Amino acid sequence: MRPLFLTVVCFLFLSTAPALAATCGNGPNGFEAWKQDFIANSKRYGLKQRTVNSALQNVKYNSKVIRLDRNQKSFKLSFQQFYAKRVNNAMIRRGQKLGKTYARLFNRIEKKYGVPAPVILAIWGLETNYGGYLGNMPVLQSLATLAYDCRRSKFFTNELVNALKIVQRRDMTPGEMRGAWAGEIGQTQFLASSYMKYAVDYDRDGRRDLIRSVPDVLASTANYLQKKGWRRGQPWGPGTANYRVIREWNKASVYVQTISVMADKIAN
């Protein structure tokens, strides 16, 4: 039998010990405790606590982000339905026009990275209509919400950490980081982890700016594809090595096929 005084001590310890924040949750309850725990342990991620506290202090749980995460219907469409929904002739013509406007830039990028203009233009157009709409949701709020949510907590915790590293490195401020509901950033919608790995300062202004700098946007997209195995001078249609590289950009088959077909149309 356990001695009485040990039972009392254990009871007192359990009753007075602070509750540990949950590693994830479903719904807003517990989010604030999780956030404070994340801030307190920011050093384990290679982050400065002062930076993280400043960046996340006003971040709240966003139920809209969770609803959007649970309701991704576009990728359930057939290719014909998806293409018709996302691409039209005006987009193709604009891509061709931008290819001419930035011809010298595209030529330099292809010479360095091996990725031709039509493929980059297709991604640029499909992701944000050539920078026309980057999304208006606060990236850190979206990523913190998804990192706390149990469905893909590990994946989005990594994205949140990388987004905070972008802030810490002063490439972007928290206020500048606005994008899609899942935290994608910039004119070709890089996840924060891809931003850290593949974004380049092509215009040499001292920071990698995928929001305002077209040279940085286009070169970073080419760099991503090159690092994923793009084969210079080879086609990108179904069954090719480069088609498999496009799949690294987005795993959804309808998305990959749309990029490939759109790039063909822009090239013609």
Question: What pLDDT is attached to residue 61?
Answer: 97
Q: Is the pTM of this model over 0.85?
A: yes
* Model pLDDT for residues 123-170, shown as the tens digit of each residue: 999 999 999 999 999 999 999 999 999 999 999 999 999 999 999 999
Q: Yes or no: say if 179 and 134 are a contact pair by the CB < 8 Å rule.
A: yes
**DSSP secondary structure letters along 210-259:** TTT-HHHHHHHHHHHHHHTT--TT---STTSHHHHHHHHH---HHHHHHH
Coil/strand/helix, residue 71: coil
Query: What's the pLDDT at 22?
Result: 62
- pLDDT given for residue 74 in this prediction: 66
Specify whether the CB–CB gap between 30 and 22 falls below 8 A: yes
For residues 98 and 121, what is the distance between their CA atoms, to the nearest angstrom?
A: 8
Task: Note the maximum CA span of the chain.
Answer: 85
pLDDT score for 117: 98
Instruction: Determine the pLDDT at residue 71.
Output: 85
- Count the residues in the chain: 268
Given a cut of 70, the residues of the chain with pLDDT beneath it are: 1-22, 73-74
Pair of tokens at residue 228: 């994923």
